[in-house]
């Protein structure tokens, strides 16, 4: 019996019964000795108790209570075999004592003998129907045996016998969760937590049950409680996942603000997932909400700073840590906020041009704004004359740098809000000037983002090895698109969790992984983080994207990724094979996606898994409408036209197909909007097509990557066993709920 089992034996309530069964010798002497032994046993003097039980047995060899109690001592010492033997002898003397059978069950449990455990527990409850622990443990056995209905009945009997037995309620709730009986599970968890309120893991599962029922508010509350009780990585990750679905409408305490800020700053999930919920908290500050309302009421007119900020707005913005963190972590995906920031940027430009001074706090906010503009690839619209005004400032800055003149720190900040500082002819002089002056630290970070890192990427791009040529017209034009607009920028990886693909791998197996179309490398780095021993090859057409990926991987210390330029369609010449292949958001940009998929499958080893992400035709109807508008208007895939196109889409009637194209988070950066609406090569798929391909290719569908809500709704519609793997049912489901796969079909396939 190992330590864990010994602890389990103690936890399970193995304790000596009162002495009742003299079995020969002088009754009075035996009873006296036994009582003394029991007293020692109860006060923890186990060695003395054992010695005296043995003396009892010398006088009375069939003294059942002594046999049993020696068995318990053996069990607690870790000698389960001796315990089984001793308690078995007690039962041979008297098989009508419920506790003998209960303790025998515990001893067999330590030997992992489920049948014996179950038999003794059944006997226990037959003798004593109100033995709550026996019912509970029998429930555990049934659950492990895959007999959930019987497990539930056992737990219910345990609860009837001992309504305050929290463990039975937790266990019952866990089985109900496994069966997808969320409401019943929630009721049990809540009753169990009323008895034992500090069980952190239970709040986690309770939160998942709430999430599955669509009760986001309760899910967030439960997840927050779990983190507050115990800061484990899974609890943090789960809290952050819940936040993704939530929007705050009131926050009377700073509780959620602090947790959300930590989730964002510490990377509990990808920052993008926290943008909407984070903005909802920021907007709860009345003074900030008023700024945003004023900017939108005046739109498209840009307000002057006093008009925009009013009396309290600027101070509120300057002290809002969450907003600052959001601005620097991910593109903000809210049109109302975008208009406010667009106005604020115009104010910054005006202040820089007028050579006004500004305090460090204001400079800090403007730096965060400039970083946001870089992050969204300068997607904000420009008012009449604004581009020319920004260009004048840029030229003036360059001129001053060329002449070695000192500039106001507001100048580079304003210039950085309209275009990357790397475009300055004298960017190096700016770095030198920044190093030589006591500028606030936020400017150093801005220069790193806009000068140092892009320079590093140019160097890495030039040195990137190529594994194949890129010849076809489609591959060349797709490559060109992503050289100009790498997709997507990202700043942080989420906390590590075991990658789904790796869950079943054998110990010691070093997985060979191919990330096909790795773009800017987020999935490659996430994989490397989750499987530090994996050997990862990440390929893409675009050197600019690969260079971004490599810079990030280097910065985060992931040396196990080999980045290379290659065309998927030519990878069949590669003399390598892989256990896992990830190709997400890529194949639908090939001339012939199915042929490209075949090439990748030819590199997958038998038993290997592949994760694929493909556009859904049903989910992209709004994109199709936007593409039609782009074709009709002749918008080109350049920044200026992308901005105009966005404005037209945002102005479309509420609820129209066209307007709903702005619901994609990709709508909020230039590079991603080009990818979303202006792609040179886009196929959209249907599930019947995918199903036919999988059949022809001889690979198995191994399930979608789903959020809890979608899974629950699908299972409510198709409860039959195996439905989750049935693409016909999924097609029906998607036809009824076309937005289901708006973020692509993400699924696994397995090569037999
Ligand atoms: C939308 S991005 C997705 C990037 C990444 N998989 C992700 O999910 O963030 C598509 C990427 O596929 C790459 N790509 C498209 N066609 C390709 C091909 N034939 N061979 C290799 N990469 C390709 C593009 O260069 C681009 O970086």
- Tens digit of pLDDT for each residue in 377-418? 999 999 999 999 999 999 999 999 999 999 999 999 999 999
Is residue 77's pLDDT more than 50?
A: yes
Is residue 26's pLDDT more than 80?
A: no
Sequence length of the chain is 752
pTM: 0.85
Which has the minimum average pLDDT: 120-124, 240-244, 260-264, 293-297?
Answer: 240-244
Asked whether the beta carbons of 415 and 424 are under 8 A apart, the reply is yes
Cβ 517 under 6 angstroms from ligand 1: yes
Is residue 17's pLDDT more than 60?
A: no
Work out the pLDDT band at 707, boundaries 50, 70, 90: confident
Cβ 25 under 6 angstroms from ligand 1: no
318 burial via Cβ count (<10 Å: 0-12, 13-18, 19+): middle
Cβ 536 under 6 angstroms from ligand 1: no
Higher per-residue confidence, 498 vs 488: 488
Is residue 747's pLDDT more than 60?
A: yes
Work out the pLDDT band at 7, boundaries 50, 70, 90: very low
Q: How far is the CA of 700 from the centre of ligand 1 (A)?
A: 24
pLDDT value, residue 493: 79
- Tens digit of pLDDT for each residue in 29-42? 889 999 999 999 99
- Tens digit of pLDDT for each residue in 592-622? 999 999 999 999 999 999 999 999 999 999 9
pLDDT value, residue 726: 98
Q: How far is the CA of 596 from the centre of ligand 1 (A)?
A: 12
How far the first Cα of the chain sits from its last, in Å, is 39
Mutation pick for ligand 1 pocket among 478, 479, 517 (CB with most ligand atoms within 8 Å): 517
Work out the pLDDT band at 321, boundaries 50, 70, 90: very high
| Closest ligand 1 atom number to CA of residue 567 | 20
Q: How far is the CA of 267 from the centre of ligand 1 (A)?
A: 25
Q: How far is the CA of 568 from the centre of ligand 1 (A)?
A: 9
444 is written with which tokens? Answer: 């150093």
| Closest ligand 1 atom number to CA of residue 569 | 19
Across the chain, what does the average pLDDT equal?
93
pLDDT value, residue 360: 94
Give which of 328, 554, 526 is closest to 453, Cα–Cα.
554
146: left (phi over 0), alpha (psi -120 to 50) or beta: left
Cβ 525 under 6 angstroms from ligand 1: no
Cβ 586 under 6 angstroms from ligand 1: yes
Which residue has its alpha carbon closest to ligand 1 atom 1? 585
* Mean per-residue pLDDT, 139-150: 94
Q: How far is the CA of 668 from the centre of ligand 1 (A)?
A: 19
* Mean per-residue pLDDT, 59-74: 94
Asked whether the beta carbons of 617 and 731 are under 8 A apart, the reply is no
Cβ 568 under 6 angstroms from ligand 1: yes
Q: How far is the CA of 478 from the centre of ligand 1 (A)?
A: 9
């Amino acid at each position: 019996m190992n330590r864990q089992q010994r602890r389990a034996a103690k936890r399970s309530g193995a304790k000596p019964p009162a002495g009742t069964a003299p079995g020969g010798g002088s009754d009075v002497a035996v009873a006296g000795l036994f009582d003394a032994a029991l007293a020692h046993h109860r006060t923890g003097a186990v060695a003395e108790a054992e010695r005296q039980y043995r003396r009892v047995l010398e006088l009375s060899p069939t003294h059942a209570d002594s046999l049993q109690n020696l068995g318990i001592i053996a069990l607690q010492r870790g000698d389960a075999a001796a315990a089984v033997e001793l308690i078995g002898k007690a039962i041979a003397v008297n098989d009508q004592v419920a506790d003998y059978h209960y303790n025998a069950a515990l001893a067999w449990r330590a030997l992992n003998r489920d049948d014996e455990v179950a038999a003794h527990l059944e006997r226990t409850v037959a003798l004593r129907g109100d033995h709550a622990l026996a019912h509970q443990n029998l429930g555990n056995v049934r659950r492990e045996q895959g007999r959930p209905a019987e497990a539930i009945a056992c737990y219910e009997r345990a609860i009837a016998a001992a309504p305050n037995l929290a463990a039975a309620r937790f266990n019952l709730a866990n089985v109900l969760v496994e069966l997808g009986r969320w409401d019943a599970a929630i009721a049990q968890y809540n009753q169990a937590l009323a008895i034992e309120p500090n069980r952190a893991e239970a709040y986690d599962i309770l939160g998942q049950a709430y999430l599955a029922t669509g009760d986001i508010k309760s899910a967030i509350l439960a997840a927050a409680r779990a983190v507050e009780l115990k800061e484990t990585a899974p609890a943090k990750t789960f809290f952050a996942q819940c936040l993704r679905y939530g929007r705050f409408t009131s926050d009377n305490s700073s509780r959620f603000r602090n947790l959300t800020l930590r989730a964002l700053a510490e990377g509990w999930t990808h920052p993008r997932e926290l943008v909407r919920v984070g903005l909802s908290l920021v907007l709860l500050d009345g003074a900030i909400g008023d700024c945003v309302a004023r900017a939108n009421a005046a739109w498209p007119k840009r307000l002057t700073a006093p008009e925009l900020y009013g009396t309290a707005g600027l101070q509120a913005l300057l002290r809002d840590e969450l907003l600052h963190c959001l601005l620097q972590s991910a593109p903000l995906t809210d049109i109302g906020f975008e208009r406010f920031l667009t106005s604020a940027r115009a104010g910054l430009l005006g202040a820089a041009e007028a050579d006004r001074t500004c305090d460090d706090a204001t400079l800090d906010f403007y730096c965060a704004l400039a970083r946001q503009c870089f992050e969204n690839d300068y997607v904000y619209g420009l008012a009449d004359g604004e581009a020319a005004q920004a260009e004048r400032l840029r030229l003036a800055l360059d001129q001053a740098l060329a002449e070695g003149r000192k500039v106001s720190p507001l100048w580079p900040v304003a210039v950085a809000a309209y275009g990357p500082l790397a475009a300055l002819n004298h960017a190096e002089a700016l770095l030198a000037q920044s190093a030589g002056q006591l500028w606030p630290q936020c400017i150093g970070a801005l220069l790193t983002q806009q000068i140092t890192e892009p320079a590093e990427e140019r160097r890495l791009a030039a040195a990137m090895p190529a594994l194949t040529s890129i010849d076809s017209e489609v591959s060349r034009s797709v490559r060109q698109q992503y050289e100009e607009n790498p997709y997507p920028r990202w700043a942080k990886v989420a906390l590590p969790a075991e990658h789904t693909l790796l869950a079943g791998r054998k110990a010691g197996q070093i997985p060979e992984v191919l990330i096909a179309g790795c773009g800017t490398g987020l999935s490659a780095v996430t994989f490397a983080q989750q499987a530090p021993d994996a050997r990862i090859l990440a390929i893409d057409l675009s050197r600019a994207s690969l260079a971004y990926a490599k810079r990030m991987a280097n910065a985060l210390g992931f040396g196990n990724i080999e980045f290379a330029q290659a065309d998927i369609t030519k990878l069949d010449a590669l003399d390598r094979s892989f256990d896992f292949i990830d190709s997400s958001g890529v194949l639908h940009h090939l001339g012939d996606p199915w042929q490209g998929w075949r090439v990748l499958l030819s590199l997958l080893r038998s038993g290997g898994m592949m994760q694929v992400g493909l556009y859904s035709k049903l989910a992209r109807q709004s994109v199709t409408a936007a593409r039609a508008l782009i074709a009709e208007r002749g918008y080109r895939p350049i920044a200026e036209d992308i901005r105009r196109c966005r404005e037209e889409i945002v102005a479309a009637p509420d609820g129209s197909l066209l307007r709903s194209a702005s619901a994609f988070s990709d709508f909020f950066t230039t590079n991603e909007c080009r990818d979303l609406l202006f792609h040179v090569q886009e196929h959209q798929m249907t599930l019947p097509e995918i199903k036919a391909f999988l059949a022809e290719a001889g690979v198995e569908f191994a399930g979608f990557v789903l959020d809890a809500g979608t899974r629950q709704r699908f299972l409510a519609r198709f409860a039959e066993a195996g439905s989750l793997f049935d693409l016909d049912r999924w097609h029906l489901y998607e036809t009824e709920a076309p937005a289901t796969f708006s973020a692509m079909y993400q699924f696994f396939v397995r090569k037999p």
